[in-house]
Amino acid sequence: MKTNEEIKHSVRKEYTRVVTQATSCCGPGCCGSTDTETSVSRKMNERYEGVDSSIVATADLGLGCGTPTAFAGLEEGMTVLDLGSGAGIDVFVAAQTVGPTGHVIGVDMTDAMLEKAERNRIKLGIRNAEFRKGEIESLPVDSASIDRIISNCVINLVPDKRRAFAEISRVLKSGGKFIVSDIVTTGTVPDTMRENMRLWADCISGAVDKEEYLAVIREAGFHDIRILTEKAYDFPEPMPFGVFSITLEAVR
């Protein structure tokens, strides 16, 4: 079995490739072929309908499996944290919504992504956002300092999901919410696929059963857990398990 550090190394390597080669990655089927990448990117652009076109053109790498910002109930003056912020698109969308009195922090563990996001921030002239290097299991963020946490197809990449949701709980204010879009499964993912690091980076092998995912969130002390959207993925060849993208919210 791969160690947590070996998994993280593989994920960093793949996402460095994504940003340096400007190719799409995350979301089941999104990495598989050029045709699929094109269709998924098109769908993602449709989900960002209504967002400033310059933000989409600059920062949308075609990653993700939802649009958590659309469900986050963001308001002016809020402090928002984006987990696995990538090239920054959800950070920039949130920054526009919370306004100059609000603040948005993006956290990512991949240097190339952080560099790309900062270049995008400067290009777009966004002043109420920043990017920090860190891992979701050990966030570089003060306790009880965040009003809303968003994340887009990233927690499935984290080896220790219990630690990730414990950290989410730590940094959220009492009554604060997290809204995440992520990949979950139904049925059993074969061990051979769990060991496949390319499939892990493709957001499949690191995904856990939906009921286990919800149980981990409850164990971390969250309440009012609601699945807001759910979509099954189809694959060219039959899989021995189901794969779904979900967007859910919970309250600390």
CB 107 within 8 A of CB 85: yes
* % of the chain exceeding 90 in pLDDT: 74
Report whether pLDDT(35) > 50. Answer: no
CA atoms of 137 and 147, how far apart (whole Å): 19
Which CATH code for domain 4-251?
3.40.50.150
CB 136 within 8 A of CB 164: yes
CA atoms of 25 and 167, how far apart (whole Å): 26
CA 57 → CA 60, 112, 202, distances in Å?
Answer: 6, 19, 23
- Which pLDDT score, from 0 to 100, does residue 28 have? 56
Higher pLDDT pick, 57 / 172: 172
Banded pLDDT at 22 (limits 50, 70, 90)? low
- Which pLDDT score, from 0 to 100, does residue 37 have? 38
Phi then psi for residue 173, to 5 deg, are: -70, 155
Please list, in sequence order, all residues whose beta carbon lies within 8 angstroms of the beta carbon of residue 48, skipping any fewer than 6 positions away: 55, 56, 60, 67, 89, 93
Q: Quick check: pTM over 0.95?
A: no
Domain ranges in the chain are 4-251
